[in-house]
Amino acid sequence: MSTDSPVRDLPRPSRAETVAKRIEARIAEDALPNGHRLGTRDSLRREFDVAAATFNEAVRLLTARGTVSVRPGVKGGIFVATPPPLVRLGRKMLELSGDSVPVSDCLVMRDALEPLLAREAMRHRTEADIADLRRLAGEMAAAEAESGVGYLAANWALHRRLAEITPNKILQHTYVSLLEFVETRLRGVTSDEPAARHVDGPAVHRELVEAIAAGDPGRLDAAAAAHSRLTAARGGDA
């Protein structure tokens, strides 16, 4: 693979993403209706034989996508949910486009939405949101030192969590649909070259998170600009 290619160090799915995809496949293959009870959190965790933290992350991903809902109580558990119309529309548009949609076009749109997403995150963030973002930024820093593959997986997890903060569902679902499309198209592609380092990435994303936490528009603009330069330099995988 040429060193000019923007597709490099591409992550295979995390264990949580793998579990989420298996649950989605079961729902689709069995044509399970809205409201169908898949099981309890604990029974499904044992079935997929993963740690509680891994399964909880899978449930978070599925809940964010509108694929499942979680109900408390004795008769509660995890149930099939019908994704919101905007989610279904976004997915259908990309599915119908098929190979005619270049990944590069999706990256351009994703990058254009990210400054707006950051401003929305600053306006609506909670203490819990900031704690999650700081944790994910820390995971990016740890992954950068070990694996380019792990770094990109942590990177995408951070951006997905940013999207969850905004109450603007059009923005949220458009961005997440683009992100998931890029992940799906790039997943499984391997490189013949050594893993590239993302030396500046952790610091840039950490500053982006801290600017959101501080609620400082000027600082956020500077952090978003640094992130845009990083993305351009990395060909979209920063």
pLDDT tens by residue, 122-131 = 999 999 999 9
- The pLDDT of residue 194 is 40
- The pLDDT of residue 140 is 86
Sign (positive/negative) of CA torsion 89, 91, 94, 99? negative
Please say whether the beta carbons of 77 and 40 come within 8 A. Answer: yes
Mean pLDDT lowest among 77-81, 182-186, 194-198, 210-214? 194-198
Sheet holding 37-39, edge to edge: 37-39, 77-80, 68-71
Mean of per-residue pLDDT scores for the chain: 78
Please say whether the beta carbons of 79 and 41 come within 8 A. Answer: no
Whether the per-residue pLDDT at 147 is higher than 80: the answer is no
Q: What is the DSSP string of 28-63?
A: HHTTPPTT-EEE-HHHHHHHHT--HHHHHHHHHHHH
- The pLDDT of residue 238 is 57
Average pLDDT, integer, range 209-215: 96
pLDDT tens by residue, 89-108 = 555 555 545 555 666 777 78
Whether the per-residue pLDDT at 7 is higher than 50: the answer is no
- The pLDDT of residue 117 is 94
For the entire predicted model, the pTM comes to 0.58
Q: Which amino acid is at 200?
A: D
Residue 28 exposed, middle or buried by CB count within 10 Å (0-12, 13-18, 19+): exposed
Comparison of pLDDT for 111 and 1, the residue scoring more? 111
Q: Identify the band that residue 215 occupies on the pLDDT scale cut at 50, 70 and 90.
A: very high
Comparison of pLDDT for 63 and 209, the residue scoring more? 209
Domains and CATH numbers, the chain: 15-80 (1.10.10.10), 88-233 (1.20.120.530)
Sign (positive/negative) of CA torsion 149, 154, 155, 157? positive
Cβ within 8 Å of residue 206, ≥6 positions away: 137, 141
- The pLDDT of residue 99 is 53
Cβ within 8 Å of residue 193, ≥6 positions away: 1, 3, 8
- The pLDDT of residue 84 is 55
Share of the chain above pLDDT 70, in %: 73
Q: Identify the band that residue 1 occupies on the pLDDT scale cut at 50, 70 and 90.
A: very low
Whether the per-residue pLDDT at 69 is higher than 70: the answer is yes
Please say whether the beta carbons of 86 and 173 come within 8 A. Answer: yes
Please say whether the beta carbons of 133 and 205 come within 8 A. Answer: no
pLDDT tens by residue, 173-191 = 888 888 877 766 655 443 4
